[in-house]
Amino acid sequence: MLLLLLTAFLATAAISSPDWLVWGGPTHNFISPATGLADKWPAAGPKRLWSRPLGDGYSGIAEEAGVLYTAFRRSDEDVIVALDVKTGKNIWEYGYKDPFTNAFTPDVGPGPYAMPQIDRQPSADRERNWAHPVSR
């Protein structure tokens, strides 16, 4: 499912639009303010720019300045990745052990169930400043 989302997103990447930093987009209503979108797809569908496997998960995709951010599951790790919008290649990725399970895990998989959110807060020491512990 994540591959399909990336392909559909990339089909409109050339359209001028504000960055999609958070769940719901710039207006928080899942409606893009982009202009110049096609009224209909060609019979064969939009041109696929690239695709690549990631892993299990239900993450949405955030975008800023030509970088896509998403999350997926690799073995016993959740992985957050930044991808180049033009090539799909990794810019960086960060994986962490997460033995998370819940009542839905046997039927739908272990997640992740959330998407990265982009919030540019200044960091004096240029260290990772986006992670914090969450009690379970």
Please name which of 9, 1, 3, 5 lies closest in space to residue 85, comparing C-alpha atoms.
9
Whether 67 is covered by a domain: the verdict is: yes
Whether 104 is covered by a domain: the verdict is: yes
Count: domains in the chain: 1
Whether 66 is covered by a domain: the verdict is: yes
Summarised one tens digit per residue, pLDDT across range 7-16 is 445 444 455 6
Number of neighbours of residue 43 by Cβ within 10 angstroms: 5
Range of the domain at 69: 2-31+51-108
Whether 96 is covered by a domain: the verdict is: yes
Question: What global pTM score does this model have?
Answer: 0.75
Whether 122 is covered by a domain: the verdict is: no
Please name which of 96, 94, 97, 98 lies closest in space to residue 82, comparing C-alpha atoms.
94
DSSP 131: -
Does residue 65 surpass a pLDDT of 70? Answer: yes
Whether 14 is covered by a domain: the verdict is: yes
- Is residue 77 within 8 A of residue 114, CB to CB? The reply is no
Summarised one tens digit per residue, pLDDT across range 103-121 is 777 777 777 888 898 877 6
